[in-house]
Amino acid sequence: MTETTKNWLNFIGGDWVDATDKIEVYDPATDEIFATIAQANTNDVERAVVAARTCVNSGVLTDCRPVKRAELMSRIADEIRNVVDKAAPLLARENGKSLNDAREEFLIAARYFDYYGGMADKIEGKSIPLGEDYIDFTYYEPVGISAQIVPWNFPVDICARSLAPALAAGNAVIVKSPEITPLAMTWLATACKRAGLPDGALSLLCGPGREVGNALVSHPDINQIVFTGSVPTGQSILKAAAEHAIPSVMELGGKSAAVAFPDADMNQLLDSVRWGIFFNAGQVCSAMSRLLVHRDIYEEVVAKVAEMGKGLSIGSGMDNAEVTPVVSRQQQQQILRICDRAVSEGARLVTGGQAPADLKGYFIEPTVFADVTPDMNLFTEEVFGPVLAITPFDTEEEAWALANGTDFGLVAGVFTHDLTRAIRASRALRAGQVFVNEWYAGGVETPFGGLGLSGFGREKGQEALYSYVNTKNVAIRVTGPSK
Ligand code: NAD
């Protein structure tokens, strides 16, 4: 396959596989279909599971010295970096994101393979003292087949985030790619194949979630599920997982809040707001979708955020505009409906709230609502678009209560130069990750995941690798019965 290919294929057991049915892929900046991908079906799921089981049973990834897996991971990282120039424009085109961000996404994907490759030969067990009659130790076994369901907002990054630790631990992986943005991810399979990943260790299927995704997570021969996506889909997958008692990692939605105090550095705050809610057109599960501001600086912050939003360029990702289109017409219409409802509920629309009249694609103006109160839907409902809800507060306790006032618990942030208050915030805020003075601070090395409806389990960081192994304990009696 090349970057000019118009019909893309599934990757099953080491082969590229076509299908009679096709899924059409749109360019969100122009509302035009520009490519298709073979639509996988339940037979393809079966074929992928058989290939994965054959790979697992062969021991090809587990019988070798672990350093061989580390070397393989490093080669995959290199091959990903080799395809960036060809693959990033495809990601920008299918998702709508900026070309710079698409390039960065591939580089992060490569970084996951380097990072977890570095752990592949360090998955060490423990020796547990039980007295002189025993030797007891643990070791980690790969789970077997990891089924991974990926969403459309960061398909390459999120795919690599779970694929890399799973392979580093010696598992076979079957990925179900998102129907809306399935193309760029195929370059990850290309990189794996070029690096010499054994057949069956990775299959990549694109098909409807309810048919192909469901068949995969319900399959009796898979051993683990990693899901990143919406809450209702996560809940339905958990029911399927319960059927076979399959362990799962759930990365679901969020409605995360930043809390700004009067001693916050205004430039730092504005930079974080821009990045936190307008990056990737706000389609980030850990977006700063709420901003809670102390009343002493409330009107100043509202005015400055609105001015910043109005000043951002809106346009195609291929031109590296600051605000790019959302992924689909359906998303665009849903976001506009949420904005209309917020107005009718009494929120103050400070800027945006519309689709720009002169652009054909799925654009939404950078949108800022002020005076959003906890009883409004906008306060609790995930928008997944470039829409910020601002709320005033008077006391620190009130700020924590407002921040924690949703069923989600993904990330949270605090903007202050009072270190003691920042530490209090880190304890009081109900979230898997707390940012201080920089939204999205962290990286491949830092554990990520939620509480409540945001899900459970952690991705990223060393901790994540241990979701892809089972602990086995071995207890050996070394002396005869006492006389
Ligand atoms: P979605 O739940 O609609 O789809 C996610 C994936 O699940 C897709 O590949 C889809 O085909 C598949 N799917 C759908 N029904 C299925 C089923 N019954 N069985 C198995 N698979 C099925 O979510 P989306 O619209 O693609 O993504 C947006 C949502 O994802 C937002 O809520 C966002 O917050 C969340 N998200 C979370 C994270 C995170 O790390 N916490 C990251 C990105 C997105």
The 10s digit of each residue's pLDDT in 248-276 is 999 999 999 999 999 999 999 999 999 99
Q: What is the pLDDT of residue 482?
A: 65
Measure CA of the first residue to CA of the last residue in the chain; give whole Å. 72
Any ligand 1 atom below 6 A from CB of 409: no
State the distance from the centre of ligand 1 to the C-alpha of 64, rounded, in angstroms: 35
Average pLDDT, stretch 190-216? 98
Give 404-434 pLDDT, tens digit per residue.
999 999 999 999 999 999 999 999 999 999 9
Which residue owns the Cα nearest ligand 1 atom 19?
A: 214
> C-alpha distances in angstroms, 424 versus 228, 418, 437?
30, 10, 14
Q: Are the beta carbons of 402 and 391 closer than 8 angstroms?
A: yes
Give residue 178 CA to ligand 1 midpoint distance, Å.
Answer: 8
Residue 433: which of 456, 452, 415, 449 has the closest Cα? 449
179 close to ligand 1 (CB < 6 Angstrom): yes
Q: At what angle do helices 155-168 and 66-95 cross, to 10 degrees?
A: 170
As a whole number, mean pLDDT of residues 127-134 equals: 97
Cα 392 to middle of ligand 1, angstroms? 32
Tell me the average pLDDT across 376-395.
98
pLDDT of 2 strictly over 70: no
Query: What pTM was estimated for this model as a whole?
Result: 0.96
What pLDDT is recorded for position 481? 76
- Pocket probe for ligand 1: among 37, 149, 159, the residue whose CB has the most ligand atoms within 8 Å is 149
Q: Which of 55, 192, 206, 285 is catalytic?
A: 285
pLDDT, mean over the chain: 97
Query: Whose C-alpha lies nearest to ligand 1, atom 14?
Result: 209
At residue 182 the predicted structure's pLDDT band, cuts being 50, 70 and 90, is: very high
Q: Judge if the beta carbon of residue 372 lies within 6 A of ligand 1.
A: no
Task: Tell me the mean pLDDT in the region 302-309.
Answer: 98
pLDDT of 110 above 60? yes
Nearest CA to ligand 1 atom 9: 178
Distance of CA 330 to the CA centre of its chain: 21
Task: Give yes or no for residue 285 CB within 6 A of ligand 1.
Answer: yes
Mean pLDDT of 397-408: 98
Pocket lining: 178 vs ligand 1, CB cutoff 6 Å: yes
Mean pLDDT of all residues in 90-114: 98
448 pLDDT above the threshold of 60: yes
Active site residue 192: no
pLDDT in tens, 44-65: 999 999 999 999 999 999 999 9
pLDDT of residue 382: 97
**Among 458, 469, 474, 445, which residue's Cα sits nearest to residue 123?**
469
**What pLDDT is recorded for position 197?**
98
Ligand 1 atom, smallest distance to 217 CA: 20
Asked if 124 is an active-site residue, the reply is no
Report residue 4's pLDDT band, with 50, 70 and 90 as the boundaries.
low
Residue 148 DSSP class = E
Residue 331 in contact with ligand 1 by CB distance below 6 A: no
Residue 115: its pLDDT value, please? 98
324-339: pLDDT as tens digits: 999 999 999 999 999 9
Report whether pLDDT(148) > 70. yes
In the prediction, which pLDDT does 1 show? 45
Residue 150 burial (C-beta neighbours within 10 Å; 0-12, 13-18, 19+): buried
As to burial, measured by CB atoms within 10 angstroms (0-12 exposed, 13-18 middle, 19+ buried), residue 293 is: buried
pLDDT at 6: 83
Q: What is the pLDDT of residues 458-480, one digit of tens each?
A: 999 999 999 999 999 999 999 88
Checking if the pLDDT of 5 tops 90, the result is no
Question: Residue 118's pLDDT is what?
Answer: 98
